[in-house]
Amino acid sequence: MESNELTAENLDRAAGMLKAIAHPVRISIIGFLEDGRKLSVTEIYSQLGIEQSTASHHLGILKDKGVLLSKREGKNTYYYLRHERLRDIITCISSCGR
């Protein structure tokens, strides 16, 4: 990040994104969405082995904080990473946790 990008607003938004990511379920969700993948709520909660309402709750937090975007296609809503570089953060977290 260049010094001209280090505004209070940008730092606040980045801190909010990091706080939103800082949960095991949310880290897993981001891990599933690598390489531009788009997944529905059903695909996400099935892969995680959690309730649909729990997955929706976590997806809502990630979307609200600007980590994810969603696109409605028919009856399904698909979620994907807003910034593919966020995947780098998850990779770093995974390697630090070993």
Phi, psi angle pair for 70, to nearest 5° = -135, 155
Cα–Cα distance, 21 to 19 (Å, whole number)? 5
Q: What is the pLDDT of residues 2-40, one digit of tens each?
A: 556 789 998 998 899 999 999 999 999 998 998 889 999
Residue indicated by tokens 């910034």: 83
Average pLDDT over residues 84-94: 79
Residue 95 has pLDDT above 70, yes or no: yes
What is the pLDDT of the chain when averaged over all its residues? 89
Interval 37-47 mean pLDDT? 96
Split into its structural domains, the chain has a count of 1
Q: What's 8's domain CATH number?
A: 1.10.10.10
pLDDT of residue 36: 87
Question: What's the pTM value of the predicted model, to 2 decimals?
Answer: 0.84
Alpha helices in the chain (DSSP H): 8-21, 24-32, 41-48, 52-64, 86-96
Can you give the residue range of the structural domain that contains 73? 3-96
